[in-house]
A and B are shown apart, each in its own frame.
Chain A
Amino acid sequence: MLKIRWFRGQWLHITFARVLLYVVMIVLVCFTALPLVYLISTAFKPLDELFVYPPQFFVRNPTTANFSDLVVSLGSSTVPFTRYAFNSIVITTIIVLCTVIVSCMGAYSLVKLNPPGGKFLFNLILIALMFSAHVTKIPSYMVVNGLGLINTYGALILPNIAVAYNIFLIKQFMEQYPDELLEAARIDGAGEMRVFLQMVMPALKPATATLTVFSFVNNWNDYFSPLIYVTSQAMKTLPLALQTIGGGAAGMSVGRAGAVAAATFLMTAPTVIIFVIKQGQVMETMTYSGIKG
């Protein structure tokens, strides 16, 4: 054990356990951060460095040529890169907003209001958790087709709103919310809508933040639904576009490797930014508002 005089007259205690803790953390963090480091450095690599074997982790002569290449190579095609980005942003934003509202309302009802058939619905949600969406993709296509939504934003938005996992997540948090508070509010004359909006929603902030991050990441990276529901180029989203730029599923075309790296970087940035903004709230614990569970 070592004692070091820290600034403002504080004492810094260095113990073996603490040092070990930091060393373990830093090693683990190094492993985990590698893909991101690689992603960023690749986006700025000039063409000759992109194809070095074995791949280099760090860029030697950083350049922004890849980004201008991305704009130029797609500028000549009928659909500009910004259109893909616009599609992705619009679709993901609407899905996240709707799914947060629908899941919170549903979970509130299931946990606190006991609607008829609530137990059955909850069991259904548990079953739905185990289902891979891919198994039902073809019948889902029939539904979307029947509604006449193919090639619209609706086809990409509607099927992704009522998701079992989302309502399950909110439900887990909702169970911690004390009934006493709701009863008190009702006795004081608050309507159900008001109880929900002014009492439940603020208390659920950490849960909704978590859901926002989950839902945003999942839908932002969703490759499958645009592949199935959308045929026109102008309606495609970023993950699909990324593959188009790369030269199709068969393999990467060599000339576009730089543009792909840049596009990958641009595609990842929003998810990281969203998480960094929301992470404080995601980690926050539920407030018990004076009542211990």
Chain B
Amino acid sequence: MKEGKVNKDTSKPNEAANSAKAPASKGAPKKFQMDLNKRNSLKGLVFVSPFIIGILAFFIYPICLSLRLSVGESVAIVGMKVQGFTVDNFVRAFVVDTTFLPTFATAVKQTLTQFPLTIVLSLIIAVLLNRDIKCRGLFRVIFFIPFLLGSGEVMQQLLNQGVDRSVLNVMDGRLIPYNVLSYFGDTIMEVVQNVMGMLVTVLWGSGVQILLFLSGLQSISPSLYEAAKIDGATEWEIFWKVTIPMISPMMLLNIVYTVVNSFTNISNPLLTYIQTYGFDKAEFAYGAAMGWIYFAFIGVLVGIIFAIMKGFIHTNEVEEVKKRERKHRVFTIEKAPKRTFD
């Protein structure tokens, strides 16, 4: 036990060396042994190390550099030499720059109107897809296709070629014939047009959400549904009392994903604005400062979402109890050898 503490931080080769040395120095046949938890955590470190290295090099270090950049004065662009400490960049964003705040507001508004729609629509589609219908696989593939086309260049090309316009345009009489159209007034048509437009945009952006909801739905044990049915619950009651609570963790994941994704999407006006400063105008420091303001906002928003959702999230109590028991069990096993029965 003592040796285990001494060798807490040594790596595996050392451990091997010690285990060879230990019997000789003590002269007893007792083998060196690390305690189970420590050995596990050491193994854990080995397993997670590739990820740590990657995230250190390409996330932590750049983040620190960008933070440093945002609060300093850039002395030389080459090599990015920074010195001093100022909040000028932050002040500039709020006070001097007249485009920053309006662009910010547009980006926020765009996200806040679209994410509830995306969540609700994708939940409905996922529930429908989870039912026993023909050609389920085909439906799933089709709903996922917009995501495959991607947020990238392909979609941009399609938009350039006017695919959204030709889809959205209900008025030109190709989707619905003119003589049907003439029965409705102009205002109704406008509403229909807007709804269709929204539907298409939301549907094209909800492939991932549908997929995540589906995997959540499929992990609900059928026995729960059976029990509910035997107790005489209707489909509607089952949906609200069984399905919704059971997929609430997925719901949280989905909401966070949707919000963050729409904020970090290339099509987001604010990001484009930040990028023009970062790349075209070479004002790295100001770009970094705006990036940090934006990030702080997202962080606060996600924090609020977490706080609100916490009350609704269903936790598996049985699993919690089991985990506690397991910890207890490990404890007793460790203690066991010290006891003597005479």
* Residues A36 and B145 in contact, CB atoms below 8 Å apart: yes
Report A278-293 residues with CB < 8 Å from chain B CB.
279-280, 282-283, 285-286, 292-293
Query: Which single member of B150, B199, B215 contacts A217 (CB below 8 Å)?
Result: B150
Query: Which single member of B47, B63, B143, B203 contacts A131 (CB below 8 Å)?
Result: B63
Chain A interface, >50% SS class: helix
* Residues B47 and A210 in contact, CB atoms below 8 Å apart: no
Set of chain B residues within 8 Å of A24, measured between Cβ atoms = 128
Set of chain A residues within 8 Å of B302, measured between Cβ atoms = 130
Set of chain B residues within 8 Å of A267, measured between Cβ atoms = 153-154
Contact A35 B51, CB 8 Å, known A134-B264, A283-B215: no
Set of chain B residues within 8 Å of A159, measured between Cβ atoms = 58
Report A211-242 residues with CB < 8 Å from chain B CB.
214, 217-218, 220-224, 239, 242
* Residues B57 and A35 in contact, CB atoms below 8 Å apart: no
Expressed in whole angstroms, the minimum distance between the Cβ of B23 and any Cβ of chain A is 22
Check if B238 is an interface residue, CB within 8 A of chain A: no
Alpha-carbon separation in the docked complex, A29 to B143 (Å): 7
Name the 6 nearest CB pairs between A and B, nearest first.
A162-B54, A113-B44, A115-B44, A221-B152, A139-B62, A135-B291
Expressed in whole angstroms, the minimum distance between the Cβ of B67 and any Cβ of chain A is 9
Task: Please classify how large the interface on chain A is, using the bins under 10, 10 to 19, 20 to 34, 35 or more.
Answer: 35 or more
Alpha-carbon separation in the docked complex, A276 to B145 (Å): 10
Check if A109 is an interface residue, CB within 8 A of chain B: yes
* Residues B48 and A109 in contact, CB atoms below 8 Å apart: yes
Flag the segment in A59-67, A68-76, A120-128 that touches B: A120-128
Set of chain B residues within 8 Å of A276, measured between Cβ atoms = 141
* Residues B274 and A242 in contact, CB atoms below 8 Å apart: no
* Residues A286 and B153 in contact, CB atoms below 8 Å apart: no
Chain B interface, >50% SS class: helix
Contact A129 B260, CB 8 Å, known A32-B204, A114-B44: yes
Check if A143 is an interface residue, CB within 8 A of chain B: yes
Alpha-carbon separation in the docked complex, A292 to B222 (Å): 12
* Further pairs besides A21-B131, A33-B142, A54-B166: 15, Cβ < 8 Å: A28-B203, A35-B149, A54-B169, A110-B44, A114-B41, A115-B48, A135-B292, A158-B58, A162-B55, A176-B219, A192-B47, A242-B157, A243-B153, A271-B150, A279-B144
Could you list some 25 contacts between A and B, CB below 8 A? A21-B131, A34-B163, A54-B162, A55-B166, A57-B166, A106-B50, A109-B47, A109-B48, A116-B45, A124-B60, A128-B55, A129-B256, A134-B264, A134-B275, A139-B66, A139-B69, A142-B80, A162-B59, A164-B55, A210-B215, A217-B150, A224-B266, A271-B150, A282-B215, A293-B316
Binary flags per residue of B276-297, CB closer than 8 Å to A gives 1, else 0? 0011000010011001101100
Check if A252 is an interface residue, CB within 8 A of chain B: yes
Contact A130 B157, CB 8 Å, known A39-B149, A293-B319: no
* Residues B148 and A239 in contact, CB atoms below 8 Å apart: no
* Residues B55 and A124 in contact, CB atoms below 8 Å apart: yes
Check if A137 is an interface residue, CB within 8 A of chain B: yes
Binary flags per residue of B248-274, CB closer than 8 Å to A gives 1, else 0? 000001001000100110100001001
Set of chain B residues within 8 Å of A34, measured between Cβ atoms = 163, 167, 200
Query: Which single member of A124, A136, A143, A272 contacts B148 (CB below 8 Å)?
Result: A272
